[in-house]
Amino acid sequence: MAPIPLTATDRRSPLTGPEWNGRVSAVPSTKTQKIRVLLADDHAIVREGVKRILTAEPDFEVVGEAEDGQQAVDLVRTLKPDVAVLDISMPGINGIEATKQIKAAFPNTHTLALTMHEDESFVFQLLKAGASGYVLKRAAVSDLVQAIRAAKRGEAFLYPSVAKAVVADYLKRVEAGEGRETYDGLTDREKEILTLVAEGATNQDIAQKLYISVKTVQTHRAHIMEKLNLHDRTMLVRYAIRKGLIEP
Q: Which of 115, 147, 167 is the last residue of a domain?
A: 167
CA dist., res. 154 & res. 176, Å (int): 31
CA dist., res. 71 & res. 84, Å (int): 12
Q: Which domain holds residue 197?
A: 179-243
Task: Determine the average pLDDT of the residues in 56-78.
Answer: 95
CATH of the domain at 216: 1.10.10.10
pLDDT band per the 50, 70, 90 thresholds, residue 115: confident
| Residues 103 and 185 grouped into a single domain | no
β-bridge pairing 83-86 and 60-66: unpaired
Task: Determine the average pLDDT of the residues in 85-94.
Answer: 90
Asked, for residue 26, whether it belongs to a domain, the answer is no
**Total domain count, the chain:** 2
Residue 168 has pLDDT above 70, yes or no: no
Which secondary-structure segment (H or E) carries 226? helix 214-228
- Residue, of 76 and 17, whose pLDDT is higher: 76
What's the mean pLDDT when you consider all of the chain?
A: 78
Residue 92 has pLDDT above 60, yes or no: yes
| Residues 43 and 108 grouped into a single domain | yes
Asked, for residue 234, whether it belongs to a domain, the answer is yes
Q: Which of 54-63, 74-83, 90-99, 223-232 has the lowest mean pLDDT?
A: 223-232
Q: Which of 92-96, 184-188, 228-232 has the lowest mean pLDDT?
A: 228-232
Query: How much is the pLDDT for 84?
Result: 96
| Residues 64 and 185 grouped into a single domain | no
| Residues 114 and 59 grouped into a single domain | yes
Query: How much is the pLDDT for 12?
Result: 47
- Residue, of 232 and 68, whose pLDDT is higher: 68
The interaxial angle of helices 188-198 and 233-243, nearest 10 deg, is 110
pLDDT band per the 50, 70, 90 thresholds, residue 43: very high
Task: Determine the average pLDDT of the residues in 171-175.
Answer: 54
CATH of the domain at 108: 3.40.50.2300
Asked, for residue 25, whether it belongs to a domain, the answer is no
SS3 label, residue 49: helix
Asked, for residue 14, whether it belongs to a domain, the answer is no
pLDDT band per the 50, 70, 90 thresholds, residue 164: low
The full 3-state SS of 125-181, as one line of letters, equals: HHHHHCCCEEEECCCCHHHHHHHHHHHHCCCCEECHHHHHHHHHHHHHHHHCCCCCC
| Residues 156 and 209 grouped into a single domain | no
CA dist., res. 128 & res. 122, Å (int): 10
